[in-house]
Each structure stands twice: as structure tokens, then as C-alpha cells.
Amino acid sequence: MADETILATFFRKLEVRDVVTAAEKVALIACASDMVSVPAGGDLVREGDRPDTSMLVLDGFSSRYRDAPDGSRQITAIHVPGDFVDLHSLLLREMDHSVGALSACSVMRFPHARLRSLTETHPHLTRLLWLMTLIDASIHREWLSAAARTAPEQIAHLICELYVRLGITGLIAPDQSFTLPLTQTALGEALGLSAVHVNRSLQQLRSEDLFTWQNQTVRILDWESLKRRASFDDRYLHLVREPR
């Protein structure tokens, strides 16, 4: 069984939005089964699979994606520590997309049988898990709307989003830096941009002294200016702490 320390990032993510009691933490911890390591480039789950567990990212970055017949890939979500990557598979039995590891990942598996029992005995936790899937959907809507922005604005917006999401779980360093194991190709797959367009846009943003991005580390230099550049508003992340 897992312990509270291992699931700390997930509990911090929940507690930004509501109170989680000690008893609820114990109940959720009891649902966990085992930890699995996935190498960078490997798949956590594939399209067409019918998983009997849902996975929570403990360490590393992963992405939801679909491959087109021509071999091109569309990344539809980026998952960070504290995210369930396939909680929806509890009810949507067959995966309609794959989840791949952008970096080496450690994930905790939660058997669906245990999660079903949890939903029958802990209504508040059930609502919180539902909330996590609703926030995933909200992020997806924001990504879709971002297509109307310029390429530099799209990149700046994604940097802002990840900075906030990682900050929730305590993964921003004191110098305002964070790990981001995204290649320019993967960034283009997430934003619908060519690698050349991504490269030019990154050069433009760097010239504005908004952030640096070297060796898979992003450091925010001017947060307020970066937010303005991206027209970033974190309301879609639903960070208000209130009873659910």
C-alpha cells in the first residue's frame, strides 16, 4: 500500500481546491496497489487497451496522444506529477487514445475495483475525483481556444499553464525554474505547429527576456510580462478552495 508521502503531490493538488480529511487520505491511499516505472518514450497505456487500473503520475511528465495514419502525432494533454492520466477509464472502458512518457515516469496504479468501492462509500472523494476529470476537460477546452492565438502566444500560454500547475504541487524551484522535458517536436505536436515555427517563436520569446529554456529547464524571468504576452488567465484551472 502507498503512503501519504508518496501521494503528496496529488493531495496538494486536491487541497488547493477543497479540504481533504485525514480519513479521506487514508481511504484513497488504501486504493493504491503498486508503483510502476515507465522509460521515456514508453507507453503507460495504449489506444484500444481496456485497463483495469487508473494511473497517477508520481514523477515525470507524460502526454495523451493519438497517431494519424500518416505517422504524425497530436498531443492532446500534458500530465505532470499529481495527475491521473486515465481516471476516465474507470467508466470509459476502452482507451480512445494513448498515454506516453515524455520523460522517465513513476506511476501509482489504482485498481478499478477499489476505486468503485471508494465511490460507493466516500461521496466527497468521489466528487473530488470527478472534479479532477472536469479540470482535465477545462484544460482541453483552453488548448482548443489557444489555436486562435499566434504561435508565440500559444507557447507562452503553455509555459504559464505548466508553471502554475507545477507550482500547485511544489515543483517550482526558488529561482522560478522547473523541469520541462519537451522537445521542440513534441511542443509542436501539442500546439499544432511545425518544428520550424516552434523554433522561430521560441527565439522571439527569448529575445523578449520572458523566460529561458535550456537543458530541459525553464526559468521564468518576468512572470507578469509573460502572463500579459500570453493573455493568460488561470480561471480555467479552478484554483479556488471551496466546498465541493
Question: What confidence tens digit (pLDDT) does each residue in 99-141 have?
Answer: 999 999 999 999 999 999 999 999 999 999 999 999 999 999 9
Q: CA-based Rg of the chain, rounded to a whole angstrom?
A: 18
CA distance 185 to 194: 8
CA distance 222 to 114: 45
Q: Band the pLDDT of 43: cuts 50, 70, 90.
A: very high
Per the CB < 8 A criterion, the answer to whether 169 and 17 are in contact is: no
What is the topology classification, in CATH, of domain 145-237? Arc Repressor Mutant, subunit A (1.10.10)
Q: What is the pLDDT of residues 159-215, one digit of tens each?
A: 999 999 999 999 999 999 999 999 999 999 999 999 999 999 999 999 999 999 999
Spatial CA neighbour of 14 closest among 127, 121, 157, 107: 127
Average pLDDT of the chain, as a whole number: 96
pTM for the model stands at 0.96
pLDDT value, residue 2: 66
Strand 105-111 relative to strand 35-38: parallel, antiparallel, unpaired?
Answer: antiparallel
pLDDT at 40 > cutoff 60: yes
Q: Mind giving me the DSSP string for 171-211?
A: -S-TTSEEE----HHHHHHHHT--HHHHHHHHHHHHHTTSE
Listed by start position, the domains of the chain span 8-123, 145-237
Average confidence (pLDDT) over 141-162: 95
**Which CATH number does the domain 8-123 belong to among 3.10.20.30, 3.40.50.720, 2.60.120.10, 3.30.70.100?**
2.60.120.10
pLDDT value, residue 163: 99
Q: Using N-to-C axis directions, what is the helix angle for 151-168 and 223-230, rounded to 10°?
A: 130
Q: Band the pLDDT of 97: cuts 50, 70, 90.
A: very high
pLDDT value, residue 1: 55
CA distance 195 to 112: 39
Alpha-helical runs (H) found in 38-172: 112-121, 123-145, 151-168
Q: What is the pLDDT of residues 54-64, one digit of tens each?
A: 999 999 999 99
Helix (H) or strand (E) holding 24: helix 22-31
Check if 8-123 and 145-237 are the same fold. Answer: no
Strand 62-67 relative to strand 98-101: parallel, antiparallel, unpaired?
Answer: antiparallel
